[in-house]
């Protein structure tokens, strides 16, 4: 099981804009292939969060999802504390 990917509002909007552009300029087959590739990439990223180059900024990573798409993401580790009763 990998890390959970939480999309920022900016990332959701950006991805939506990419899909909208594809719908206007690419074929249905190409759009499906892009989305399939993106889903596969994010599954891989979830399991290997440091797969892309680290940035100079803290916890940021940046690199290609494919030959046309560059992504930037931040790794945040959230630790949940469970209370124990004695």
Residues 67-85, mean pLDDT to the nearest whole number: 74
Domain enclosing residue 38, as ranges: 34-77
Distances (CA, A) of 77 to 32, 34, 39, 43, 70: 32, 29, 22, 17, 23
Which pLDDT value is given to residue 8? 92
Is position 17 within any domain?
no
Is position 42 within any domain?
yes
What is the distance in angstroms between the CA of the first residue and the CA of the last residue of the chain?
31
Which pLDDT value is given to residue 79? 65
DSSP 22-52: HHHHS-HHHHHHHHHHHHHHHHHHHH-TT-S
Is position 16 within any domain?
no
User: Based on the structure, what is the number of domains in the chain?
Assistant: 1
Provide the pLDDT confidence category of residue 86 given band limits of 50, 70 and 90.
Answer: very low
**Prediction pTM value:** 0.79
Q: Are 32 and 69 in contact (CB under 8 A)?
A: no
Per-residue pLDDT reduced to its tens digit, 14-69? 999 999 999 999 999 999 999 999 999 999 999 999 999 998 877 899 999 999 89
């Amino acid at each position: 099981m990998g890390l959970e990917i939480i999309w920022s509002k900016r990332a959701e909007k950006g991805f939506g804009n990419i899909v909208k552009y594809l719908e206007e300029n690419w074929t249905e087959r190409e759009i499906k292939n892009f989305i399939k590739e993106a889903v596969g990439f994010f599954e891989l990223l979830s399991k290997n969060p440091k797969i892309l180059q680290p940035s100079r900024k803290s916890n940021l990573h940046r690199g290609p999802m494919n030959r046309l798409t560059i992504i930037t993401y931040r790794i945040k580790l959230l630790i949940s504390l469970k209370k124990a009763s004695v």
